[in-house]
Amino acid sequence: MATIPPEPVTRLIEAFSQLPGIGPKTASRLTFYLLRRPAEQAEALADAIRDLKRKTVFCSICFNITDQSPCAICRDETRDRSIICVVEEPLDVLAIDRTGEYRGLYHVLHGAISPVEGIGPDELRIQELVARLKNQPVQEVLLATNPNLEGEATAMYLARLLQPLGVRITRLARGLPVGGDLEYADVITLSRALQGRREM
Show me where the domains of the chain are located.
79-171
DSSP state of 20: T
What phi and psi values does residue 40 have, to the nearest 5 degrees?
A: -60, -35
pTM of the predicted model as reported, rounded to 2 decimal places: 0.82
Helix (H, G, I), strand (E, B) or coil at 159: helix
Q: Which fold has domain 79-171?
A: Dna Topoisomerase Vi A Subunit; Chain: A, domain 2 (3.40.1360)
Would you write out the chain's pLDDT as a tens digit for each of its 200 residues? 567 888 989 999 999 999 999 999 999 999 999 999 999 999 999 999 999 999 999 999 999 999 999 999 999 999 999 999 999 999 999 999 998 899 999 999 999 999 999 999 999 999 999 999 999 999 999 999 998 899 999 999 999 999 999 999 999 887 777 777 767 777 777 777 777 777 65
For 72, the enclosing helix (H) or strand (E) is helix 72-75
| Distance in angstroms (rounded) separating the CA atoms of residues 87 and 142 | 9
